[in-house]
Amino acid sequence: MAYAITRTCCNDASCVSVCPVNCIHPTPDEPEFGTTDLLYIDPAACIDCGACADACPVDAVFPVDRLAGPDIQYAELNRRWYEENPTDHAWGAPEFPRSLPNGFGELSVAVVGTGPSAGYTAQLLLRTTGARVTMIDRLPVAGGLLRHGVAPDHQSTKRIGESFADTFHHPALRMHLGVTIGEDLSHEDLTAYHHAVVYAVGAAGDRRLGLPGEDLPGSLPATTLVGWYNAHPTVPADAVDLAAERAVVVGNGNVAVDIARILLTDPDELARTDIADHALAALRDSRVREVVLLARRGPEHAAWTRPEFLALTHLAGVDLVVADEPGVREAIAAASADPKAADSKAALLAGLPVETVDWAAAPPAGRRRIVLRFGATPQQLLGRDRVEGLRVSGPDATESTIAAGLVVRSIGYRGVPVPGLPFDEASGTIPHDGARVVDPATGRPLPATYVVGWAKRGPSGGIGANRDCAQETVDALLDDAAAGLLSAPAHRIQGFAGLVRRRRPDALGLRQWRAVDRAERARGEASGRPRVKLATVPELVASARRFRP
């Protein structure tokens, strides 16, 4: 019986490298890699060895005959992908581990960030070069997007962090937490003690709508709401007010879907996750009964991935409906009638109820629901002391007002500048050429300075996409080492910890982070949860200081 890949796929291609018959596609060297919703196993070629299931870091691979519930449909999705994308499973050219040139000596690399892209980068450097790696993060806790971005009900996705466990215990790794580049240390400080610096700083900012009323209380960026339910230490426990019956999420990407799902999921279900305690308490008292996912364009242009959308259709106690707006029925019908559009976003809506919604009234009594509204462009947030509604215009230029007490803009994350480095305001990224940070004025690479992850390519791609991205960055770094472009640092790496202590005496290290990790897991074990997060900087620091060597 063949295996199938299901919705929790992280696209990091761990399964691809272990498949003895090369029947998992797209592979990292194929054009579709990074653009498909997940990877796929060819049931006609699979030999049922199970190597892919053992290698998968997020438990997304199962024998077809063991699929149950919502995952049953993935057997057909895997099969159909190969029907539409035939391949002979030919092997590509072999790739061999990179290494440093003879006589180079010990390489020292600073990695700014501790999220997935930073983790993959450190992992590659430690495994292939024997480098000494220093990881630095502005927060007093490691994990980045994996800790503060992945929705709490996606615990299987969080398991990818276990693949970094060996990395974070490697004797050649040092970590400094609660240290900000541009305040406590400069880029020049890093280059003075390391051969190279890799920036894995992600995209911590958000995009604004640029509308009147956007700064009213009750108007939030997705970064705040996601940080709130994930116990981000910079987001206060009272940052989100759930007193309104209707919430509007502007956007319909995966983050918007996450927000809608978390706002309406039964709190008893969330109580088995690592959701922030303050968020769980607020959700138990929440009055939100309806979440509107608002999209400017039609259903055929929806930005969510198929696995995330399909999960919405199985959300217990929550109805999923489509608002009956101009052109919506026609778009769904056209996609459903076209065999070539069977997998389009619009075709996935076939079978859902299409209903007329009274936007000025309160949501209907009874069950909770998610409403998909397409073809609506936000014009203004309304209210005197806080948000009371959102005025939108339709494709026919008619305007309407959606009564709502909470409006969340989820129109994309955005990178923020790093002091001392160039920044592209248009894309919100660090300008680079093949991962090498460049001076925009001259186009020349900055010496020994590299970028990886969302700071490099923009906020696109899931967690696993950072693995291939990190490989490109590390390859560029090693190419430069081989070409003699990495100068010896002015100071020995052994002195860097002393510099950090002088500049930021309260910085935490790896042992302290392990103490926090143990404390959170112990708190979780006591309550039947994977962990109970410490949600404030003082709590994290106090727990870290109690570590036992």
Nearest to 441 by CA among 449, 427, 431: 431
Asked if residue 145 belongs to a known ligand binding site, the reply is: yes
User: C-alpha dihedral over 119, 454, 140, 221, to 10 degrees?
Assistant: -150
Q: Tokens 């962090």 sit at which residue? A: 161
| Neighbouring-strand partners of residue 355 | 323
Q: Which among 362, 81, 143 is positioned nearest to 245, based on CA atoms?
A: 362
428 — alpha (psi -120 to 50), left (phi > 0) or beta? Answer: left
User: From CA 367, how far away is CA 350, in angstroms rounded?
Assistant: 21
> Closest Cα to residue 140, out of 438, 426, 535, 468?
535
Q: How many Cβ atoms sit within 10 Å of the Cβ of residue 494?
A: 10
Cβ proximity of 232 and 440 under 8 Å: no
Instruction: Report which secondary-structure segment, H or E, holds 51.
Output: helix 51-55
Q: Is 47 annotated as a binding residue?
A: no
> Is 454 known as a binding-site position?
yes
Q: Are strands 389-393 and 368-373 parallel, antiparallel or unpaired?
A: unpaired
Interaxial angle between packed helices 254-264 and 222-229, expressed in degrees from 0 to 180 and rounded to the nearest 10:
50
Q: Is 253 annotated as a binding residue?
A: yes
355 assigned ligand-binding residue = no
Residue 375's closest CA among 396, 394, 401? 394
Q: Is 252 one of the annotated binding-site residues?
A: yes
The sign one gets for the Cα dihedral 79, 83, 88, 90 is negative
Is 412 known to sit in a ligand binding site? no
Residue 161 annotated as lining a ligand binding site: no
Is 463 annotated in a binding site? The answer is yes
Strand order in the sheet with 368-373: 219-221, 406-409, 246-250, 290-294, 368-373, 318-323, 354-355
461 is in an annotated binding site: yes
78 is known to lie in a ligand binding site:
no
- Cα 22 to Cα 361: distance, rounded to the nearest angstrom: 55
List, in order, residues 6 or more apart from 527 with CB less than 8 Å away.
Answer: none
Would the annotation count 297 as a binding residue?
A: yes
Contact 313, 257 (CB under 8 A): no
Spatial separation of the C-alpha atoms in residues 484 and 137, rounded to whole Å: 29
Q: Which residues are annotated as a binding site?
A: 117, 145, 181, 252-255, 296-297, 308, 454, 461-463
Q: Which residues are annotated as a binding site for FAD?
A: 117, 145, 181, 454, 461-463
Q: Which residues are annotated as a binding site for NADP(+)?
A: 252-255, 296-297, 308, 461
